[in-house]
Amino acid sequence: MQAASAHTIAELTASDVFRLLADDTRLRAICLLHGYGELCVCELTETLAVSQPKMSRHLAMLRDGGLVETRRSGQWIHYRLRGDLPAWARTTLTNACDGLATEAPFQSDARRAARAIAKNRSECEL
């Protein structure tokens, strides 16, 4: 999938959301952000067992597609779902992530994320 250009929230369409969620890594990352609120790249990389460049590429697509926003803290970049997502988009993400929470690999992702957060949180300087 080609990255969408940076969307304003008014331009976000259902097709955009589903296209972004069609990749397992992006869907799993979105569900982690939904569950934990904000995570740094290192926590997502460790949790999903992917390389940092791959995770950064997927997060850039989610950011450019209008689903996530970033906050920089020193050398770390933290990601979270956009606070101004339209209600329909937030409901779609909530329903998908809540529905998948007890399924593999989402359930084990949550356990790994809790360990990654405990291990890395002081380094990530929240």
Q: Does 74 fall in a domain?
A: yes
- Whether pTM > 0.85 for this model: the answer is yes
Q: Does 3 fall in a domain?
A: no
Q: Does 36 fall in a domain?
A: yes
Q: Does 5 fall in a domain?
A: no
Q: What are phi and psi of 51, to 5 degrees?
A: -70, 155
Q: Does 2 fall in a domain?
A: no
Task: Please give the distance of CA 88 from its chain centroid, rounded to a whole number.
Answer: 18
Q: Does 53 fall in a domain?
A: yes
Question: Which residue segment(s) compose the domain that 28 sits in?
Answer: 13-120
Q: Does 8 fall in a domain?
A: no
The yes-or-no verdict on residue 2 having pLDDT over 90 is: no
Amino acid of residue 58 = H
Into how many domains does the chain fold? 1
Q: What is the CATH number of the domain that holds 100?
A: 1.10.10.10
Q: Does 59 fall in a domain?
A: yes
Quick one: pLDDT at residue 1?
A: 35
Quick one: pLDDT at residue 27?
A: 98
pLDDT digits 0-9 by tens, 43-73: 999 999 999 999 999 999 999 999 999 999 8
